[in-house]
Structures are given as C-alpha cells and as structure tokens.
Amino acid sequence: MHSSPRLLTMDLKVEPEELDSNQPPPIEVFAHSSTLHGISHIFTYERFWIKRFLWLVFFLASLTFLLYVCVDRIHFYLEYPHVTKLDEVSTPVMTFPAVTFCNLNAFRFSQLTRNDLFYVGELLALLNNRYEIRDIHLVEESVLESLKLKTDFQNFKPRPFNMREFYDRTGHNLNDMLLSCHFHGTECRPEHFKVVFTRYGKCYTFNAGGDGSPPLITTKGGMGNGLELMLDIQQDEYLPVWGETDETSFEAGIKVQIHSQEEPSFIDQLGFGVSPGFQTFVSCQEQRLIYLPPPWGDCKVTPMDSDFFDTYSITACRIDCETRYLVDNCNCRMVHMPGRTSAVLKLNQYMSVDAWRSKTEECIHVCVACAAGDASFCTPQMYKECADPALGKEGYRPAVMHFRTCLHFKD
C-alpha cells in the first residue's frame, strides 16, 4: 500500500499595523507629543506655513537667548566673583601706630669734617669736581670761612670713609631736637625712640615695637590721648644749599609717616611734611584689609620670599626689590637698605640712568625675583653714578625753626 505525500501550505497574514510599527513615526507625531513648548506648532500637519515660520523664528530666538544666558553665567562663575564687605567696628583697646619722623636736612653742617668733604663734597653740592667751593659768590661770610678751613686739602691724607658711619655721625641727634614729648599725658624720652635710616638719613621711630618691647596701646581717641611732640629742627645746622641734589634739598621742616609696627618706613614716598613754626594736629583711623587668596584674588597665601622681611607689605616688597636690584647691578646697597655687609665692592659695575629708572618703575608695580646677596654700603661715587639717579627726591622751599605736632585717634 502506498501513501501519496501531501503538501501542506500555510499563509502568513501580516496586519498592516504590525508592518507599520517597524518604521519610525513622522516628526509631526513626535512634536505633538513633546513637552518642548512651541515645537508642536512648527511641525504640524497644518498647511499654514506663515504661522509655522513665525513659531520657528520665536523658537530659535528663545533658544539663542537661553544659550547666551547659560554661557554668560558659566563665564561669570569661572571669574570667581566675591563681595567686598566693609564694617566699621568699635574697639575698647587699639594698638597705637608707629610714628617715624625725619629732619629734612640729613647732615649737620657743624659735624662735617675735612675727610667728609673730600669724599662727599661734590655729592652734597658743596664742592665741584676740582674740590673747590661751588658758587662762592652765594656763600655767606660765616659759612665761607668755615668751608675754607674744611676744604683746605693741601698736604691732606684722606682716611677710610664709610657712608653708614657718615650718616649716623652727621645726622641730627634726637637729644638736641626733642624739646618735649608726651604720650597719654606721660612724659617720653629719647630712649623711647628707635633710630632708623631712610632716604632722609638718620630718622627716629616712636613705638616701633620689637626687641622685647610690646607696642603701646590706646583706649580712646581725641586730644590728650595720643603722642605730642615739640621739636627743634636746628635750622642753624642745615647745609648751605646752592643747588639741589639727591642728598640735599631746599626745604626745611620734618617729614612724618604713620605706619604699623610690621611695616617698614618708606617715608620719602608715604610721609607727609610738617612745617616749622606751627602746631599740627593729625588724626587717623585704623583700616584693616583682608584680601582673598586665589582663585578669588591675586594675593598669595605663602609667606613672603624675602631675606629681609618676614611680614608682607607693599612697602616691604618695594624695598626688597630695590635692594636686590641694586646689589645685583652695583654690588652695594644704600644706607637705608636692609642687609649685611660682607661683599667686596666692584666699582666698575655701573648701569645707565635710563636703565635704573626703567627698572625702578617695574619695582613699583610688581616685586620681581632679583638675585640677592650681602653687600657693603655704596661709596659716594656709586651713590652719584648708580643709586641716586633712580631714587632721587624732590625739593621744596625753606621755612622757619620750630613746630609742634599732636597725633591721636579720632573720637
């Protein structure tokens, strides 16, 4: 018996919906179901193309504005914005500031010796380069006689000369200048002042602190609660000036600077003048500034990289930079500059005046990393040719003899 094979056929029926599900839906379907505002009006089955175009313009404008605001806020955040906060605080006790003052005449005429004039006579504009008295027709008779004795260099053998010793010996002595001194009504004496050297020579600082002496404090402001000084400027000791130099000036009086104990004196730039013959009242307020470190500000949180100062200040930075640069280029330092005296002078290492001025301007704005080292004091010739052109000071008119000043905090 044979069985014939059977062919079984099965028709597969595909629903139209199932076939269409494999294709992506049109953009109009997506836009209609999207929550993004406006897109459903752009992609629509409607035939009003003007309406769709206007919606497209509004949508793109809104998107552009959104992106602009986002970019602007991100840029603002990356600038690390901060708020400057100013507070006025009353305190029952305040540290009284350091007060530095200098006689505007750096050298007493009576203390000049023949040896001094041999070395610094031209620097002080008293002699010309031939060791002769300058502008002899302008010299008073009494001064001329004294100068003739001190400038008789016939058979004269000069002795070694040191600028630091010269500044110290010929500078005005506080024992002679100080006529009266009171702090909080209590008498103060010359031993309460510290000798400092500045561009004005030998100066004195009251309430300098340091050396185991804590700074003085004050409990209230107003007259009678600060420092009162009466000084004799000793104008009879002033050098005869016929032409102003960096070491001499036409003015007479006192230069004063008020500063903190941590900040070195920079009196030739930051001090104010006090005229003799007047009583001068000075009131001040303490201002404390706290600067933010990076990335909110430019200040460094690391200690000051200095061989001379421990506490950072703009003044310390300026003096440090000028000292390093002078040592690096002249192998010497000026009397008012910090350092130790150990290096040998090399008198041939000078630089031009223009280069000095250019570098000094750099020091005003930024503290550059200059090569530092110990150096001895500049000679008078180096003062004239290397240092003074960059650090000269302006002159003024002479005045009278005595003055009184009272320094106190505001009430």
Q: How confident is the model at residue 2 (pLDDT cuts 50, 70, 90)?
A: very low
Domain ranges of the chain: 25-78, 94-409
β-strands 402-409, 279-284: how paired?
Answer: parallel
Lowest mean per-residue pLDDT among 13-17, 20-24, 115-119: 13-17
Lowest mean per-residue pLDDT among 66-80, 136-150, 191-205: 136-150
- pLDDT score recorded for residue 378: 83
Q: Does 117 score more than 60 pLDDT?
A: yes
Give me the mean pLDDT over the 144-169 stretch.
90
pLDDT in tens, 326-355: 887 777 888 988 886 443 333 233 333 344
Residue matched to tokens 């999207």: 34
Calculate Rg over the CA atoms of the chain.
Answer: 39
Give the CATH number of domain 94-409.
2.60.470.10
Give me the mean pLDDT over the 134-140 stretch.
78
Question: pTM value?
Answer: 0.70
- 8-state DSSP, 7: -
Residue 282 to residue 204: CA distance in whole angstroms: 18
- pLDDT score recorded for residue 108: 94
Largest CA distance in the chain: 167
Report the share of the chain in percent with pLDDT over 90: 28
Q: How confident is the model at residue 380 (pLDDT cuts 50, 70, 90)?
A: confident
